[in-house]
Chain A
Amino acid sequence: MRDKRLTTKRDGGRPNAAAHSLPKTASGIRGLDEITVGGFPRGRTTLLCGAAGCGKTLFGMEFLVRGATEYAEPGVCISFDETGEELAANVASLGFDLKDLAARKLLAIDHVYIERSQIEETGEYDLEGLFLRLAYAVDSTKAKRVLLDSVETLFAGIGNESILRAELRRLFRWLKERGLTAVVTAERGENTLTRHGIEEYISDCVILLDHRVTEAVTTRRLRVVKYRGSSHGTNEYPFLIDTDGISVLPLTSLELNQEASDKRVSTGIAALDAMLGGEGYFRGSSILLSGTAGTGKTSLAAHFVDAACARGERCLSFSFEESAPQIVRNMRSIGVNLGQWVDEGVLRFQSIRPSTFGLEMHLVMMHKLIAEFNPSIVVVDPLTALLSAGAEFEAQSMVLRLVDFLKSKGITALMTSLANVSAPTQQTDVQISSIVDTWISLRDIESSSERNRGLYVLKARGLAHSNQIREYVITGNGIQFRDVYLGGEMLTGSARIAQEAKDATAMVLEAEESQRKKAILERRSKVLESQIAALQLELESEGQELRQLAAQGELRTRKLNDDQRVMQKSRAAEPELAPKSAKKESSRK
């Protein structure tokens, strides 16, 4: 058998390998084709089972309608439960116009109905009539897709179960032989996938739908139980039925292979940009703003959004606490006009109560809106409100999925988190923190009977960020950062102002003091200088005296010699001898 060979898992079930190994028919249902890596097995039958009211028929109908409208594959619906009119009315709410499709020969609906009370069974029979009707419908539309909804109704209508089972087996084989991609729905049984064991005839692909209520919140979920010859997502995926049909959420495509952009995006506040290394956040990264109540998380987010919208980027803001007009009004009070961006269509608010539906539904809704609006920035305010809608583990995994999804789309995500006053870093924060790239903590700083606000960057992956706690004030002109007080410990508010005044006074006093000291010193040095000058004068006068004395001495000596000479002359002493003997006498000495 061919599909035996295909059952071997290859390449760790990588999508491409699987897509090549087994031809598939795209269901056209959002998200489902990602989970099933391409859709339902082409030319085979897929079993769709689930309890009443979980959306089996809608799933099947969307498969047919999408095929007819988007893939040029007409479809046939053999409905055992509802008439064509009922079906048309039911799916009209999803925006499907079955009558139009039928008129264009893209869809044929045949309502097969058995009233057992009207039927007597005598002897041999088979269900050839069903085959002929199906064949007729398929031929008249050249159908590629078939929906049998729900085949188990036959068990109520046909008394002879052994004939019915044999005929069902033949039916599925017939569908395969005709190369029809079929979806068969069946009611979920007590302990089995289907009440009447249809799964034993359909072995290619089995999808289970579920509809669960937990804590008064209902969530529809889908799981691919089996997909022979193909890899597939094995988790339970929530899905949403709304006016555009079904959206399945392929939640955990958790391969860490997102693009990492080097581009930066401004926070909307120059001082904060500077704290993050000059240019703000990384584009496509995820940012968590955590802080206690009233620290200005929403305001900070508003600045970010405002700056982005001013650059012409599209922003989508999910708000779980305030309505859109309320946010616009409140932000206007701090000088941020978000209303203009809403009017221009670059900003969209989605305000919804967290308790409206379960976590997953929120996520599905967000996925859908993001796909519709195509924003480059998404704000979730506050994330913690959303987390209250689910259990702790669920919450974390949901945030992970959300962040993962936004990253894969290259969307910059700003999420706020309300921290407990008593414990500024909550458990949830810690859990989320490993997922986010940048974590900015806003906190109250209480001192001298005042509350002031301080901001610091707890972490910023890949950014040379500041380690300072910066004070900021929320003014009528938005958030403004105060200059850093450089004198040791951090002071905020009036304490900072007082300290600054004190510092200023001290500086004036100090200046005066030094001026005074300088004057004294100058005076002293002048005195000394004058003393030096006096001494210098003294020195000079003494030198003069000395020279006078020397000159007098010389004069005296000369006079003495002259006198002697005069004396010699007058005594008529031998002029030649006398000096010689005098010389000899002096050398002898």
Chain B
Amino acid sequence: MSTKAQPSRVLDRPLDPPLDLPGEVWNLRLYVAGQTAKSLQAFANLKRICEEHLAGRYNIEIIDLVKQPQLAAGDQILALPTLVRKLPEPIRKIIGDLSNTDRVLVGLDLRTKE
């Protein structure tokens, strides 16, 4: 689905389980609105995927927009929940409760789209 050319990634296309460049830390930010079922579901799904594919080199920051609504504009958050990959660049966004693991992996560039 991604139309943006990402030449650096074409060379080291990750296999499954993918291993990115060693030492690269993934900064992930999950935007939610309160402790809703969807929020909890999304967090659980994210945690699981990260443990499977990025064990030891990821950070997850959870932002509750009900408490901090002013932070929504910065990452252009509209839909909730939204997962934002801040690092490595470029920024990617995945919306939804992350229940479709394959699409999350594609969205995070952990796997190319078949």
Known contacts A129-B82, A130-B78, A120 near B92 by CB under 8 Å: yes
The segment from B6-14, B18-26, B100-108 found at the interface with A is B100-108
Q: Name the residue on B nearest A158 (C-beta).
A: B79
Is A125 positioned at the interface, with any CB of B under 8 Å from its CB?
yes
Q: How far is the CA of A154 from the CA of B82 in the complex (A)?
A: 16
Task: State whether A123 touches B100 (Cβ < 8 A).
Answer: yes
Task: State whether B91 touches A124 (Cβ < 8 A).
Answer: no
| Interface mask (B89-114 → A, CB under 8 Å = 1, otherwise 0) | 01111111111100110110000000
Task: State whether B80 touches A127 (Cβ < 8 A).
Answer: yes
Q: Name the residue on B nearest A119 (C-beta).
A: B93
Known contacts A117-B2, A132-B65, A125 near B97 by CB under 8 Å: yes
Known contacts A112-B78, A136-B72, A124 near B97 by CB under 8 Å: yes
Is A202 positioned at the interface, with any CB of B under 8 Å from its CB?
no
Q: How far is the CA of A125 from the CA of B97 in the complex (A)?
A: 6
Task: State whether B81 touches A132 (Cβ < 8 A).
Answer: no
Is A174 positioned at the interface, with any CB of B under 8 Å from its CB?
no
Task: State whether A129 touches B99 (Cβ < 8 A).
Answer: no
Task: State whether A121 touches B103 (Cβ < 8 A).
Answer: yes
Task: State whether A118 touches B92 (Cβ < 8 A).
Answer: yes
Task: State whether B69 touches A132 (Cβ < 8 A).
Answer: yes
Task: State whether A128 touches B80 (Cβ < 8 A).
Answer: yes
Task: State whether A125 touches B99 (Cβ < 8 A).
Answer: no
Q: How far is the CA of A129 from the CA of B36 in the complex (A)?
A: 13
Is A110 positioned at the interface, with any CB of B under 8 Å from its CB?
yes
Q: How far is the CA of A123 from the CA of B38 in the complex (A)?
A: 10
Is B1 positioned at the interface, with any CB of A under 8 Å from its CB?
yes
Query: Which A residues are in CB contact (< 8 Å) with B104?
Result: 120, 122
B72-86 residues at the A interface, CB under 8 angstroms? 72-73, 76-82
How far apart are B62's CB and chain A's nearest CB, in angstroms? 14
| Interface mask (A127-150 → B, CB under 8 Å = 1, otherwise 0) | 111101101100000000000000
Known contacts A112-B78, A126-B79, A129-B33, A136 near B96 by CB under 8 Å: no
Partner of A132, one of B33, B76, B96: B33
Task: State whether B95 touches A125 (Cβ < 8 A).
Answer: yes
Task: State whether B97 touches A129 (Cβ < 8 A).
Answer: no
Partner of B96, one of A123, A127, A128: A123
Q: How far is the CA of A117 from the CA of B33 in the complex (A)?
A: 24
Known contacts A132-B66, A132-B72, A120 near B31 by CB under 8 Å: no
Is B70 positioned at the interface, with any CB of A under 8 Å from its CB?
yes
Is A155 positioned at the interface, with any CB of B under 8 Å from its CB?
no
Task: State whether B106 touches A120 (Cβ < 8 A).
Answer: yes
Query: Which B residues are in CB contact (< 8 Å) with A130?
Result: 78-79
Query: Which B residues are in CB contact (< 8 Å) with A71?
Result: none
Is A373 positioned at the interface, with any CB of B under 8 Å from its CB?
no
Known contacts A112-B78, A125-B81, A132-B33, A117 near B3 by CB under 8 Å: yes
Q: Name the residue on B nearest A118 (C-beta).
A: B93
Task: State whether A114 touches B97 (Cβ < 8 A).
Answer: no
Partner of B99, one of A124, A127, A132, A154: A124
Task: State whether B66 touches A122 (Cβ < 8 A).
Answer: no
Q: Name the residue on A nearest B79 (C-beta).
A: A125
Q: Name the residue on A nearest B36 (C-beta).
A: A128
Known contacts A129-B65, A132-B66, A136-B69, A119 near B2 by CB under 8 Å: no
Q: Name the residue on A nearest B69 (C-beta).
A: A136
Partner of A122, one of B2, B91, B103: B103
Query: Which B residues are in CB contact (< 8 Å) with A117?
Result: 1-4
* A-B contact sample (14 more), CB < 8 A, given A113-B76, A119-B94, A133-B72: A122-B95, A122-B98, A122-B103, A123-B97, A123-B99, A123-B100, A124-B96, A124-B99, A125-B82, A128-B33, A129-B78, A132-B69, A133-B77, A154-B78
Residues of A that sit less than 8 Å from B by CB: 110-114, 117-130, 132-133, 135-136, 154, 157-158
Minimum-distance CB pairs A-B, first 7: A120-B107, A136-B69, A123-B99, A123-B96, A123-B97, A129-B77, A122-B100
Offer 17 A-B interface pairs, CB within 8 angstroms, sorted by A: A112-B78, A113-B76, A117-B1, A120-B92, A120-B93, A120-B94, A120-B103, A120-B106, A121-B95, A125-B38, A125-B97, A126-B38, A126-B79, A128-B33, A132-B69, A133-B77, A157-B78
